[in-house]
Structure 1
Amino acid sequence: MDDKQLLMLKELTDARGIPGNEKEVRDVFVKYAKNSTSSITYDGLGSVIASHEGNKSGPKVLFASHLDEVGFMVTAITDKGFIKFQTLGGWWSQVMLAQQVQLTTSTGKVLHGVIGCKPPHVLTAEVRNKAYDIQEMFIDIGATSKEEVSSWGVKPGDMVTPYIEFKRLNESKFLLAKAWDNRIGTAVTLSVLENLVRDGHPNKAFAVGNVQEEVGLRGAKTSTYLVDPDIAFALDTGTAGDTPGMTEKEADSKLGKGPQIIIYDASMVAHKALRDFVVGVAEELKIPFQYTVIAGGGTDAGSQHVTRNGVPSLAITVATRYLHSHTSVIHEDDYLNTVALMTEVIKRLDSNAVEKITFG
């Protein structure tokens, strides 16, 4: 992976963007997309659409990631200056306590804090031995009163995001950051767009950054409706099953073994012909891949495939450890192979291929 790609990954993961507050991430998307195309539009919710016309009479192919990350929203300030919050997206309480966060005010000021709770020394054995209630947690930003917090510009509705430093794990190919879900999908989207513009393609390509995926696949509804594509892909993250204690029944994907092709998840059944087309390309080009089932979650393809009168759709994901936490880990080869696969797939989606997938 070259320095340019590493810088893009760092900028995307460093950017702060919870559901409904994705501007920082969208700005990074636009920064890189405008180098590949001058046609950038938006839907009414804030999803960004970068398009490139390879063949004006070709089919419309949409490939989308989501911009938002799981995070928090300020709901109240206590008299002693602590922050109460609402989770946005799925959080597991065990991964939250004592973790650092950043609070971004409406004026863009960034404050540092930590998620706290009562110390274990004062808890009963019953409470200590079960998951701590998120409703009992708070954020400490070093203030001593409600008035002091207000003077710093903090208000209900402000964004709170996890904080961690982007880094390569030692000298390996494993990359650590916050928000790989779904900044790695966003990086794939941007890299595929760049490749298509450079190499040419037989269709009208739409690279999309969706908003509000983590709270119900919402941005994908509006952006897909606006584009009205013939084929749609969701580029996201999937569960890794290669850590101690995991069983193949729970998750069988491994980092470094290629992109995940989602054949079933809680939001959709993969379109059979489109799935077979993608698998055929991967096998022909000897790009490694993994079949995956995600019974307890979904991707933006869940909204894409039921837009208007229906769109053949497929989710392709990058296996990720420690999803929905402050510290997630991916393998750089999976990113590169996902980019390679998606680039070649879209380059082959001409009118004949799309007609065969849709009606054949």
Structure 2
Amino acid sequence: MDDKHRTFLEDLLATPSPSGFETATQRVWIEYVNAFADDVFTDAYGNAVAVHEGDPDAPTIAVTGHGDEIGFIVRDILEDGFLRIAAVGGSDRTVSKGQHVTVHADDPVQGVIGQTAIHLRDPSEDEYEEITGQFVDIGAADATEAREHVEVGDPVTFSTGLRELVGDRIAARGIDNRTGTWAAAEGLRRAATADVDATVYAVSTVQEELGLRGARMVGFDLDEVDAFVAVDVTHATDNPDVDTEHQGPVDLGAGPVITRGSANHPVLVDVARGAAADAGIDVQLQAAGSRTGTDADAFYTARGGVPSLNVSIPNRYMHTPVEVVDTGDLDAVADLLAAIADAAGDVETFGVSL
């Protein structure tokens, strides 16, 4: 990954984007794709789309990631100046206490999610409180002072920044799924550089963590798209504390993950695997018996059924402030998206043969 593309990734990860409040990160994404897309447009809720115009007679394919992250929201300001919060998306109550957070008010406000000191607790009674039972301390003396800085409805995120680990690995919050939007943008850039025959849309959706809501909007609006490839993270199960029953074939640093089953259209799966083989890209396989849990689940039922595929980035410690990925996997996913877009130009139909 060269410096320019690495800077784009770092800018995405540094920009807060809790579901429903994605504007800032969508602007970062749009600024980047404007340099090479033939057209860029958005909708009323902030889904962002960039286009490489290909041969009008060739298929049209969309590569997507979701721009939102999990977080919290201020739901009440208590008389003593503390803030009660609620979860935005699937926030993990077991990792939130004792963390630095930022309240994204008109001017950002720093705070912490309070945790009573171990000296003052009975360890035998320790339990993980629900998010609604936790609180943020911004240092305010009372509600009057707190309201000078924040108000109900302000979003909150962990303050964790990107950290370099050994080799090509990084840790950050919000890797789920700014890495996917990075890959969609980079896949489009690489497809445009190769001048592939297919028309390619790159999409950064909103509100995936709330139930694939942005994807439902995009799947309806992009009625000319013949196939969707949704990029998201998936669980790397190669760390020591993963239970045997949840251990699978996904390793960090072993390449993109192509999902089979449920939403994943078999023709598109074959196109992706063939494109990977032709481009010399190592891939991993993952099974989805019922659902993928990604935007692919919304795309494939749009407009009566649109062939869709979930391609994933291996990720450790999902939905924590310290998600870990290998940047080599990110580059390989972007290469795979460009290879799929190239191969799509020769596909006569993505429909199954009956």
Pick aligned residue for 1:148 from 129, 141, 145: 145
Matched, 1:284 2:281: no
Aligned pairs for 1:211-360 within 5 A: 211-228=206-223, 229-247=225-243, 249-252=245-248, 253-264=250-261, 268-293=262-287, 298-350=293-345, 352-355=346-349, 357-360=350-353
Report the secondary structure of 2:68's partner residue: coil
In structure 2, runs of 5+ residues without a counterpart are none
SS in 2 for 1:257: coil
Q: Verify the 8 A CA contact 1:231 1:354 in the aligned structure 2.
A: no
Tell me by how many angstroms 1:147 deviates: 0.9
The 1-side partners of 2:46 and 2:198 are apart by: 25
Could you say what the CA RMSD is over the residues aligned between the two structures, in angstroms? 1.7
**CA distance 1:294–1:12, change in 2 (3 Å):** farther
Q: Which residue is 2:163 aligned to? A: 167
How many angstroms apart in 1 are the aligned matches of 2:206 and 2:131? 25
Q: Post-superposition shift, 1:297?
A: 5.8
Deviation at 1:271, TM superposition (A): 0.9
Identity of aligned pairs, percent?
Answer: 29
Distance in 1, Cα, partners of 2:221 & 2:307: 16
Q: Does the 8 A contact of 1:44 with 1:222 survive in 2?
A: no
User: Could you list the per-position Cα deviations for residues 199-239 of structure 1 after superposition, in whole angstroms to 9, with x for gaps in the alignment?
Assistant: 10112211101000001000000012111211001011000
Q: Which runs of 5+ in 1 are unaligned?
A: none
Deviation by residue 1:222-260 (Cα, 9 ceiling, x = unmatched): 012111211001011000111013256413211000011
In 1, are the aligned partners of 2:263 and 2:308 still within 8 Å (CA)?
Answer: no
Would the aligned equivalents of 2:59 and 2:347 in 1 still touch at CA under 8 Å?
no
Tell me the distance in 2 between the aligned counterparts of 1:120 and 1:297.
40
Query: Which residue does the alignment assign to 1:135?
Result: 132
How far residue 336 of structure 1 moved from its aligned partner, in angstroms, is: 1.0
For the structure 1 residues 354 and 327, does the alpha-carbon distance in structure 2 shift closer, same or farther, using more than 3 Å as the test?
farther
The TM-score with structure 2 as length reference comes to 0.94
Q: Distance in 1 between matches of 2:61 and 2:38?
A: 18
Contact 1:117/1:136, CA 8 A, preserved across alignment: no
Tell me the distance in 2 between the aligned counterparts of 1:100 and 1:123: 21
Letter in 1 for 2:340: V
Aligned mates of 1:244, 1:34 — CA distance in 2? 42
Of 147, 167, 184, the match for 1:189: 184
Structure 1 residue 137: deviation in Å? 0.8
Are 1:213 and 1:219, in contact at CA under 8 Å, matched by a contact in 2? yes
The TM-score, its normalising length taken from structure 1, stands at 0.93
Count of residue correspondences: 350
Distance 2:296 2:192 in 1: 24
Name the CA shift for 1:163/1:57 in 2 (closer, same or farther; >3 Å).
same
Distance 2:56 2:138 in 1: 54
